[in-house]
Amino acid sequence: MSSIFFYNTRTRKKEAFRSLKEGRAGIYTCGPTVYGPQHIGNVRSQLFADLLKRFLLSEGFDVTHVINITDVGHLVSDGDEGEDKMELAAQRAGESAEEIADRYTESWRQDRRAVNCLEPEFNPKATDHIAEQIELGVRLDEGGYLYRIEDGIYFDISRFPRYVELAGLDLEGQAGAQRIEQVEGKRHPADFAIWKFADPEVRRLQEWDSPWGRGFPGWHLECSAMSSRYLGEHFDIHTGGIDLATVHHTNEVAQSECAFGVHPWVEYWLHNEFLDFGGEKMSKSRGNVKTLSDLEERGYAPLAFRYFFLQAHYRQQQTFNEESMEAAAKGHGRLVALAAELRVAEGVGDRAAQAAHREKFREAMADDLNAPRAMAVLWDVARSSTLSSADRRDLLLDFDAVLGLDLANAEAAGEGYETDPRIDGLLEEREQARANKDFGTADRIRDELTAEGVELIDTPEGPRWRRG
């Protein structure tokens, strides 16, 4: 069997994947900062990591996947200025940071389930691992990598000559573009906080005692502490959005390699590109956020968004707009209809007849998770006039174990749907409103039907309904 190749940000080239322990793979994925709903750009990052995990599982690897929950220490800026996002959200809502974190963690988990992501083996919270973070900070302090200023304990990047390597940084340009903020007393703008001191005149919801004084950990510390806790001090793969490479992941590498005395700390760094929304990166700060709930309110099934994600390579920016989402929803609907028909096919498949298609699919996925090519193979199988129905069924289900569209539970159009002149008329009115981009009317009709216990389902033939 041919090798698996991943594009490694660390080396800036495709490399054959060889796990540190034969047959086992450890993956760490940067998870959410749970101060608000996650936008669909965040969901795309999770879908990428899930695709990676599913493919490695299909290759026979025993995968340990760790995704962290950031519920303390992530300041408003990428550096070390501003308020903690969790503290700020709690103040605005008049709730505790724990209440905010619990609510949005559960919302994030529901979003992952909605798009059919596999559960991680470990999903640790930063606040549950303060001791590990302090221990890591102490190791760095004892090694002479830290220094103290008025507002906290900082890592001195001059002690780590490889600091710029992961992201190929131009530190002068980065500082000039104000990607790194200057905190008074820092020796270099890129030096980063390991521990921030609590202001005695400000009552914080989250602070702890430490060898350096009462305060809270810097954002970057948690990922090194928790990944080493569950995967060891040297592991296979670290994933996250490309925006994390220049600051967060670079800082993770610095503190981890210095504390653990290992290089490289992570063998393969895999980064997904942005979801492009109206020509801009999607982010909460820009105010151009869409959530899965927003898509559902527009009538799009969460798995249609997963189908949308699979249409572009994870290292390419993917443009999101109403037209692209509509096209993905229709494609997903057609695939679901075909899968529902094939699900009940009788007979046993012929592995020899399937072999060439299996090899094409694997070749696509082994080439740096090329999902668009893999989807083309899936559609060739779905439409094939030469394969038997049993062969098409087997191939679609096996491919979907990697792609994650839940085709095993595909429901044929018409199954369990109802008809009623009044409700059918409202559905037609809602579709016309959507076509006219009158989303206020469309949402009002949907809400009225939902209040009546009516469940709306998008199918290739249009919207259908049944009573919940």
Query: What CATH number should be reported for the domain holding residue 173?
Result: 3.40.50.620
> Beta strand pairing status for 5-8 and 24-29?
unpaired
CA angle 23, 26, 31 (to 5 degrees): 150
What's the predicted TM-score (pTM) here? 0.87
Task: Examine the domain organization and report whether 264 and 294 are in the same domain.
Answer: no
Q: Which pair of structure tokens corresponds to residue 173?
A: 């340009």
Give a yes or no: residue 324 inside a domain.
Answer: yes
- In sequence order, what are the beta bridge partners of 409? none
Residues 6 or more apart in contact with residue 381 via CB below 8 angstroms: 357, 387, 392, 395, 396, 399
As to burial, measured by CB atoms within 10 angstroms (0-12 exposed, 13-18 middle, 19+ buried), residue 296 is middle
Last residue of a domain, one of 361, 383, 409: 409
Q: Which residue has tokens 């009044």?
A: 422
**pLDDT per position in the chain (468 positions), as tens?**
789 999 999 999 999 999 999 999 999 999 999 999 999 999 999 999 999 999 999 999 999 999 999 999 887 766 666 778 888 888 888 898 999 999 999 999 999 999 999 999 999 999 999 999 999 999 999 999 999 999 999 999 999 999 999 999 988 765 544 445 568 899 999 999 999 998 887 777 899 999 999 999 999 999 999 999 999 999 999 999 999 999 999 999 999 999 999 999 999 999 999 998 876 554 555 555 589 999 988 888 999 999 999 999 999 999 999 899 999 998 998 999 899 989 889 999 999 999 999 999 999 999 999 999 999 999 999 999 999 999 999 999 999 999 999 999 987 655 556 667 788 788 888 888 888 888 888 889 988 888 888 888 776 567 778 776
Residue 296: give the domain boundaries: 277-409
**pLDDT value at position 447?**
87
CA distance 374 to 358: 10
Are 92 and 84 a contacting pair, CB within 8 Å? no
Give a yes or no: residue 416 inside a domain.
Answer: no
Task: Examine the domain organization and report whether 88 and 32 are in the same domain.
Answer: yes
Q: Which pair of structure tokens corresponds to residue 146?
A: 């830290």
H or E element at residue 342: helix 322-343
**pLDDT value at position 278?**
72
Helix-helix angle 302-310:371-383, to 10 degrees? 110
Task: Examine the domain organization and report whether 219 and 253 are in the same domain.
Answer: yes
Task: Examine the domain organization and report whether 79 and 106 are in the same domain.
Answer: yes
Work out how many domains the chain is built from and give that number: 3
Give a yes or no: residue 414 inside a domain.
Answer: no
Task: Examine the domain organization and report whether 331 and 235 are in the same domain.
Answer: no
Task: Examine the domain organization and report whether 106 and 199 are in the same domain.
Answer: yes
Please report, as a single letter, which amino acid is at residue 241: G
Distance in angstroms between the alpha carbons of the first and the last residue of the chain? 48
Task: Examine the domain organization and report whether 212 and 334 are in the same domain.
Answer: no
Task: Examine the domain organization and report whether 85 and 145 are in the same domain.
Answer: yes
Task: Examine the domain organization and report whether 126 and 94 are in the same domain.
Answer: yes
Task: Examine the domain organization and report whether 93 and 200 are in the same domain.
Answer: yes
Task: Examine the domain organization and report whether 221 and 344 are in the same domain.
Answer: no
Give a yes or no: residue 102 inside a domain.
Answer: yes
CA distance 231 to 262: 14
**pLDDT value at position 91?**
83
Task: Examine the domain organization and report whether 285 and 253 are in the same domain.
Answer: no
